[in-house]
């Protein structure tokens, strides 16, 4: 059976398997039913508007709030009573490139966050063109950040350059960060590597 709606560009076919297939704006679409979309909590209720969220191994949510240039932590389950707890940066939206105590640290519209299996947090601080780390020693810069302009340079981490649109993902098997450098259309790798011993460092050795 084919049912045609008022929109001539849309038609769908019902089947006994709870799927519907048809054409939407010239595309062939097959819907799988039986799911539900609902709003659990609005950003205005928890005081933050996350740009990106990653889930830690213990189930905590780490969110990048790009508008206010901070990193927050949210404990599930999510509800209207959930609140974001500041991990680093400023709830007032102060920007900059400042390392040190998490509450004194400043970011510049970060857009990516990831965590390793030891609890260290890594931030794609996009407009500072830097990768930042939040660990036991506070906030540090571990790659890039020397220049405020877009660039593309590999090599020693302090001399590396990134675009203003990149993300980071922790890769546990290789103890490294995958850098998704969209602005340079490249996948890049940050290795935790000891110059003196010629072997990979574990994240705990970087605290």
pTM of the model: 0.80
Per-residue pLDDT tens for 152-203? Answer: 999 999 999 999 999 999 999 999 999 999 999 999 999 986 544 444 444 4
Element of type H or E holding 44: helix 43-46
Per-residue pLDDT tens for 118-136? Answer: 999 999 999 999 999 999 9
Which residue spans within 27-175 are E strands per DSSP? Answer: 27-32, 52-55, 61-65, 70-74, 85-89, 112-115, 121-125, 130-135, 138-144, 166-171
Q: What per-residue confidence (pLDDT) applies to 63?
A: 94
Per-residue pLDDT tens for 52-88? Answer: 999 999 999 999 999 999 999 999 998 888 888 999 9
SS in 3 state form for 160-206?
CECCCCEEEEEEHHHCEEEEEEHHHCEEEEEECECCCCCCECCHHHH
Element of type H or E holding 13: strand 10-14
Q: Is residue 127 within 8 Å of 145, Cβ to Cβ?
A: no
Domains and CATH numbers, the chain: 50-191 (2.120.10.30)
Q: CB within 8 A of 155, min separation 6: which ones?
A: none
């Amino acid at each position: 059976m084919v049912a045609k709606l008022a929109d001539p560009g849309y038609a769908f076919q019902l089947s006994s398997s709870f799927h519907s297939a048809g054409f939407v704006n010239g595309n062939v679409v097959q819907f799988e039913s039986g799911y539900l979309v609902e709003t659990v909590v609005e950003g205005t209720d928890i005081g933050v508007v996350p740009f990106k969220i990653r889930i830690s191994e213990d189930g905590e949510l780490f969110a990048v709030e790009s508008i206010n240039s901070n990193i927050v932590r949210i404990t599930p389950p999510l509800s209207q009573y959930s609140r974001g707890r500041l991990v680093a940066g400023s709830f007032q939206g102060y920007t900059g490139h400042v390392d040190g105590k998490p509450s004194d640290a400043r970011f510049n519209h970060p857009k990516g966050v990831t965590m390793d299996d030891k609890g260290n947090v890594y931030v794609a601080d996009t407009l500072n063109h830097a990768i930042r780390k939040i660990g036991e020693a506070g906030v540090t810069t571990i790659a890039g950040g020397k220049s405020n302009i877009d660039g593309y340079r590999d090599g020693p981490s302090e001399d590396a350059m990134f675009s203003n649109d990149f993300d980071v993902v922790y890769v546990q098997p290789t103890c490294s960060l995958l850098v998704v450098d969209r602005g340079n259309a490249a996948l890049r790798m940050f290795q935790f590597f000891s110059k003196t011993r010629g072997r990979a460092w574990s994240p705990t050795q970087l605290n």
